[in-house]
Amino acid sequence: MTNYYHQYDLPKDVQFEGDLAVDTEAMGLQTYRDRLCVVQISDGKGDAHLVHFPEPKFDAPNLKALLNDETRVKLFHYARFDLAIVQHYLGLMMQPVYCTKIASRLCRTFTDRHSFKELCRELIQQDISKQQQSSDWGAATLTDDQIAYAASDVLYLHQLREELNRRLVREGRMELAADLFACLPARVKADLAGWAEIDIFAHT
């Protein structure tokens, strides 16, 4: 496995095959306050590409073209956050999407443990370190530990999707999952418009 580090955009000659695992790192969890710092991408073949934004310069035409390719499913863990921050800072809504957290909640109803670390441990026997999760992603350059951590967040999403899909089919919830994934862009647009903390479908 090789982790490739880039600043501000992907090189033009980088090639990916098929669906893309995507994750982001930011200065925090508040989209309007905490800017986008890193976008990680993998096609599930063992390598990861990290695009780092040490300053808020988000032109990135090659990265945007790839993320905007609707022939590729984009795989996430907790897609709601990543879709929102990419929409806000890169100006595009990624579609179609697959969210391993939603899939897990639909087929692993015996537990309330749906973190990426837990899914990797239980479903594919990978122990993921979260030590760098709260580090400074806006630094001038990333450390080797930060790069390894960020890469690990996309290297296993294809495997997780495969195992979660088996369970969704077993439980008869694959169609429901697909419908919920399709709703994510609308949910994110509502989040960005001010309804993030409100259940807009609630009666009261």
Q: What is the pLDDT of residues 33-91, one digit of tens each?
A: 999 999 999 999 999 999 999 999 999 999 999 999 999 999 999 999 999 999 999 99
The average pLDDT across 83-101 equals 98
For residue 31, is pLDDT > 60? yes
Among the residue ranges 61-75, 130-144, 161-175, the one predicted with the least confidence is 130-144
Task: Decide if pLDDT at 93 tops 90.
Answer: yes
Does residue 200 fall inside a structural domain? Answer: no
Of residues 166 and 134, more confidence is placed in 166
Range of the domain at 108: 3-195
- Token pair 């709260």 is found at 134
- Which CATH number covers residue 175? 3.30.420.10
**Cα(87)–Cα(74) distance, integer angstroms:** 14
Asked whether residue 154 is assigned to any structural domain, the reply reads yes
Identify residue 71 by its one-letter amino acid code.
T
User: Does 138 reside within a domain?
Assistant: yes
203 within some domain: no
Residue found by looking up tokens 């595009």 in the block? 92
Answer whether residue 201 is part of any domain: no
The answer to the question of residue 30 being in a domain is: yes
pLDDT of amino acid 204: 85
| Number of domain units in the chain | 1
| DSSP notation for 83-122 | HHHHHHHH-----SEEEHHHHHHHH-TT-S---HHHHHHH
Q: Write the burial class of residue 12 (CB in 10 Å: 0-12 exposed, 13-18 middle, 19+ buried).
A: exposed
Measuring CA to CA, how many Å separate 172 from each of 16, 146, 158, 169, 176? 32, 39, 21, 5, 8
pLDDT at residue 151 tops 80: yes
pTM score: 0.95
State mean pLDDT over 151-177: 98
What pLDDT was estimated at residue 131? Answer: 63
Taking the C-alpha atoms of residue 51 and residue 54, their distance in angstroms, rounded to an integer, is: 10
Q: How far apart are CA 26 and CA 18, in angstroms?
A: 26
52: tokens are: 């780092």
Residue 132 in this model has a pLDDT that exceeds 60: no
202: in domain:
no
With pLDDT > 90 as the criterion, what percentage of the chain qualifies?
Answer: 94
- Compute the mean pLDDT over every residue in the chain, rounded to the nearest whole number: 96
| Token pair belonging to 148 | 């390894």
Q: How confident is the model at residue 96 (pLDDT cuts 50, 70, 90)?
A: very high
Find the helix or strand (DSSP H, E) in which 168 lies. Answer: helix 157-170
* Average pLDDT over every residue of 182-194: 97
In a domain, 109, yes or no: yes
**1 pLDDT higher than 90:** no
Whole-number CA gyration radius for the chain? 16
